[in-house]
Amino acid sequence: MALEPTVLNASERTAIQRLAGALALPAFDKGWVWLAGAGPGDPGLITVLGMHAVASADVILYDALVNEALLTLARPGAELIYAGKRAGQRSCKQSDISRTLVSLARGAKRVLRLKGGDPFVFGRGAEEALVLSRAGVPFRIVPGVTAGIGGLAYAGIPITHRDTNHVVTFLTGHGADGKLPKLDWQAIARGSPTIVLYMARKHAGEIAAKLIAAGRGAGEPAAIVSNASFADQAVRATTLGELGAAAAESAAPAILVIGENVGLRDSLDWLPGPAVQDDRRDNALAGSLKS
């Protein structure tokens, strides 16, 4: 479905063009496809190069997790096409999206594929880039702020801290077949103090059980950040043992994190927000009342 953008006024567009010129940003030429990350939600997290791409494109194919406020940067007459994919919902086929990118580029359009987060971090950007490469269509990758870094930062949870971890593992809980990928859970449990999980709400309980069986403690801190960096962001602090139940009650989309760094949120929760729940605190209170 194509939409008409809300067009910026002339002075606003001039400001973006002047910024692109001052930074010597590359021209977005006709017949090219740019695969760009829009960040996890807050429109301010898009890069300057990403903003330049939005303002220059003739056609923008955007994902479900892209903040639509960014589409107001589109040039007059630009075509906006929703090309989102959401688990459990009727979505655009990946093959159709890739074919559309090739077709539009061959029609001498400046084509922007705008994706939430970073296109190369569990974002299927590499799949689309490979199709473009095989078709002989020139493309550029515009990295974005991934939810596993930016989204957790908005929740006050650092992915690294020299007193808690020197390693972090990013993994997806959703394979191409919709099932939990076959991973070496023993190695993950032993090797990474901090584990960040994308698309893992559905299999959170299974993941927690595998990590506990591999030696992680059931009481280890964990958190679920729903709608990361959007205005309705919600954070639920829990434990590894309760992660499955907490994930089932949390909103999608969500990023999950396991590790001692979650506890730093008590001091680093810098973003005001109405929806915060701490299962660890609630469970401790319930225990004290029973005693």
Is residue 199 part of the annotated active site? The answer reads yes
Q: Are strands 221-226 and 254-258 parallel, antiparallel or unpaired?
A: antiparallel
Is residue 85 part of the annotated active site? The answer reads yes
Q: How many other CB atoms are found less than 10 A from the CB of residue 252?
A: 14
Pick the catalytic residue from 85, 210, 269, 278.
Answer: 85
Pick the catalytic residue from 42, 51, 58, 63.
Answer: 63
Is residue 46 within 8 Å of residue 144, measured between CB atoms?
yes
Pick the catalytic residue from 115, 199, 202, 279.
Answer: 199
Is residue 202 part of the annotated active site? The answer reads no
Q: Left, alpha or beta for 64 (phi > 0: left; psi -120 to 50: alpha)? A: alpha
Q: How many other CB atoms are found less than 10 A from the CB of residue 215?
A: 10
Q: How many other CB atoms are found less than 10 A from the CB of residue 13?
A: 15
d(CA 158, CA 151): 10
Residues known to be catalytic? 63, 85, 199
